[in-house]
Amino acid sequence: MTWYYVLNGQQAGPVDDSELQRLFADGTLNGEAPIWRAGMPQWAPLGSLFTLPPPPGYGQCLQCGNRFPPEQTIALAGGKVCAACKPVVVQRIREGDNRLKSNLRYAGFWIRFIARLIDSTITSIASYLFQIPMFIMIGLMGKNPKTEHMVWFGVATAFAIIMAIVAAGYYEAWFLVKKGATPGKLILGLQVVRARGGKISWGLGWGRYFAHMVSGITMYVGYMMAGWDDEKRALHDRICDTRVVFGG
């Protein structure tokens, strides 16, 4: 079938069905683009005559079912929710709507353990860079270190510890804010989501990093809690009210 279309105020064509859909798929035309063929009384929107897939990146709202571009939706209840439907979905979560909970696939202990192992390996490699001044001081001290050498060794050690903590915290916070998960989780297809939806803030990203320390100082029982919790929450998830899910 032969079609004509309007692009930037200019009539173009003729094209067949497949070419028309390709122009939509690559973003040249949108669903409102006027199209016409012989026998039609007037021009009509492309979307009214063709069943079109959503443009790349568009997500379907869990509540209303409509599709929206990424900047108009938020991650909530394991899916996407538009701004207009967010209050309704948040209320459904508060009321314990099991239909929403069924959308979430919580990540269990072992896959989270592997993700944390990947992240720890990355941050450990980075932390060795901050230990270089400390190793230099060890080399200068020799067998009979002088007082000033001991002082500088203490300074270098403190520098290495502080910078390792800051770098690891920034690593955790940056990836949570920008990507929704750390590299270890992204590799395994996991996302960190807020229980009531919305993006993870810098404050929450840093807070979750320090909450990890709390999970660790409990002799790692805080981490193991993910193995028996009904929503696979570790202690730091409970503190920050986050969940780790498949696919985000």
pLDDT score of 52 more than 80: no
- Do 183 and 122 contact (CB within 8 A), yes or no? yes
- Dump the DSSP string for 105-131: -B--HHHHHHHHHHHHHHHHHHHHHHT
Most confident residue range from 31-35, 52-56, 62-66, 179-183: 179-183
Instruction: Reply yes or no on whether the pLDDT at 12 is more than 90.
Output: no
Task: Specify the pTM.
Answer: 0.59
Q: 50 in helix, strand or coil?
A: coil
pLDDT value at 104 more than 90: no
What tokens were used for 17?
Answer: 């069905």
The structural domains of the chain, with segments of one domain joined by +, span: 3-49, 59-101, 109-246
Helix (H) or strand (E) holding 192: strand 190-194
Pairing type for strands 3-7 and 73-76 reads unpaired
Q: Please name the amino acid found at residue 88.
A: V
